[in-house]
A and B are shown apart, each in its own frame.
Chain A
Amino acid sequence: MRLPKFEYFEPKDLKEALSILQNEPAAKILAGGTDLLVNMKHRVECPPVLVNIKRIADLNYMRRDNGDVRIGALTPLKRLQAESLIVENFPGLAQAASAVGSYHHQVMGTLAGNICQQNRCMYFNQSKWWRSSRPTCYKAGGEICHVVNKKEICYSAYCGDIAPALMVINAKIALEGPDGSKEMPIEDFFSGDGKAPLVKEPGEILTEIIIPKASADGISTYIKFANRDSIDFPIVGTALWASEKEKQYRVAFTAVDRKPLRGKQVEDFLSGKQLSVQNVKAASDLAAKEARPVKTSVYSPSHKRRMMGLLLQNAVNETKRRSA
């Protein structure tokens, strides 16, 4: 399957990349390529310009900065599982990285590339031939969303493994753009609009992920429920951060809505409480109400809701096993 034609740039530094992006607002950024190039082969994304940022030096790093951990955008997912800085302090992030795709995807895929991946839907992630049997969906450039049978709306689901693991450890992202650099909590980076899932201007590049020092004081876990142990996107993914000493908890879910979600109701309910069997059971019932999954895959929304609670219970059990 040949890729569609595009103009190609290989900037050597961030400044050059930003100036190309400013002149080419329809350009897409290429990092690991394991998401974008597949979508291009399917002709659901056909950017006229690709900006390969892998030749930019100094975007693959992990370092401590006043106790916070800063990770470069181009850090391969494989490296996140191997560095003791991550494995010991933020094991949930290492788990999420090792849950992505297959070994090859973890070698090729980058941290920021995984965060910026496209939303997914069974009517969108298909070949041009498969899609030709019905009108083009809204996300692929048509008018209708086949999931809900409505016009000009998109219910595709965000299915990244890394984002929920970063959300529960209060990570921030740094963006470089024509107006300088800015930081924002990773939660604010997701729009909740299936058609344009990221809150990012065309000229901006995600350059860094910052994890605050305090997040190392709790135990983080990521549990992925998928069809197979490898290759698959999550049916549901659940991340938990727990400080049993402070009785504070943070929960996030992926693959259940148009963006990765924090489980605020679960967090409010568990706050100040022990992780007792009754409390966790009640929290897992609440978990099902945190998202509004629709049928973007072969798995039913009710199944996903049920799994959100069960995965939360599994995550609590793993947290207890680790803290014992």
Chain B
Amino acid sequence: MKRAIELHINGDTYELLVSPNYTLLEVLRDKLGLMGTKRGCDLGACGACTVLLDGEACLSCLMLAVDAMGKQVLTIEGLSEGGDLHPLQRAFVEKGALQCGFCTPGMILTAKAILDEEPHPTEEVIKKKMAGNLCRCTGYKKVVEALMSVTDSPGKEE
């Protein structure tokens, strides 16, 4: 039986009628047209579907949409403000940390969660926490460089 739910996504409130077996990813993409959140493995292994739930990095393919009720959801569409790219988005562009871009929304949102929690992580911490976001074309070196460039961590490039 469908349920009436209210989702808070990127500062907007949506009233929806969804079946409990819909994941948050399916609602974002198929019902709301927010295609920035990517469907990769759909099994919680690749990180492409990462969104922030109350600031925490969550896999939207393993989250029931009904379970996201009452939480603040942030997708890649809600990250930039007033047309200006978020510093992490700028860093990814400047460092060339993407090629096809499929993994990038998940990468950037995981990076945001990491840096919001720990503004000055070491390179090792970044590598460990970002390891759940898979990239099949650029590789990871430039992603780590992009993250390091927006922190004040030791080892930051000038």
Contacts of B64 in A (CB 8 A): 3, 8, 30, 33, 37, 52
A33 near B63 with CB under 8 A, answer: yes
Interface pick from B95-103, B124-132, B144-152:
B124-132
A2 near B44 with CB under 8 A, answer: no
B50 near A104 with CB under 8 A, answer: yes
CA distance A1 to B58 in the complex (A): 18
With both chains docked as a complex, state the minimum distance between the C-beta of B80 and any C-beta of chain A, in angstroms: 23
Q: Does B114 contact A (CB under 8 A)?
A: yes
Q: Does B89 contact A (CB under 8 A)?
A: no
Number of interface residues of B (CB under 8 A): 32
Which A residues from 1 to 56 make CB contacts under 8 A with B?
Answer: 1-8, 10, 30, 33-34, 37-38, 41-42, 50, 52, 54
Q: Does B116 contact A (CB under 8 A)?
A: no
B132 near A105 with CB under 8 A, answer: yes
B128 near A8 with CB under 8 A, answer: no
- Per-residue CB contact flags for chain B residues 82-114 toward chain A (1 = under 8 Å, else 0) read 000000000000000000000000000010011
Which B residues from 35 to 70 make CB contacts under 8 A with A?
Answer: 42-45, 47, 50, 56-59, 62-64, 66-67
Contacts of A105 in B (CB 8 A): 44, 59, 132
B contact residues vs A (CB 8 Å cutoff): 1, 3, 19-23, 26, 42-45, 47, 50, 56-59, 62-64, 66-67, 110, 113-114, 128-133
A34 near B26 with CB under 8 A, answer: no
> Which of A8, A228, A230, A231 contacts B20 (CB under 8 A)?
A8
Contacts of B128 in A (CB 8 A): 98, 103, 229-230
CA distance A48 to B43 in the complex (A): 20
A sample of 18 cross-chain residue pairs with beta-carbon separation below 8 angstroms, ordered by A number, consists of A1-B43, A8-B64, A30-B64, A33-B62, A33-B63, A33-B64, A38-B43, A41-B42, A42-B43, A98-B128, A101-B44, A102-B47, A102-B131, A103-B114, A108-B63, A229-B128, A230-B132, A231-B132
> Which of B21, B45, B56, B130 contacts A107 (CB under 8 A)?
B56
Top 5 nearest A-B pairs (CB, nearest first) are A102-B132, A230-B131, A8-B20, A3-B21, A103-B129
With both chains docked as a complex, state the minimum distance between the C-beta of A53 and any C-beta of chain B, in angstroms: 11
Contacts of A52 in B (CB 8 A): 64, 66-67
Known pairs A30-B67, A34-B62, A107-B58 / 5 extra A-B pairs, C-beta < 8 Å: A103-B130, A105-B59, A107-B56, A107-B113, A230-B131
Which A residues from 161 to 202 make CB contacts under 8 A with B?
Answer: none
Contacts of A3 in B (CB 8 A): 21-23, 64
CA distance A223 to B113 in the complex (A): 27
CA distance A34 to B57 in the complex (A): 13
Which A residues from 79 to 126 make CB contacts under 8 A with B?
Answer: 98, 101-105, 107-108
Which A residues from 198 to 240 make CB contacts under 8 A with B?
Answer: 228-231
Interface centre among B21, B63, B66 (most CB of A within 10 A): B21
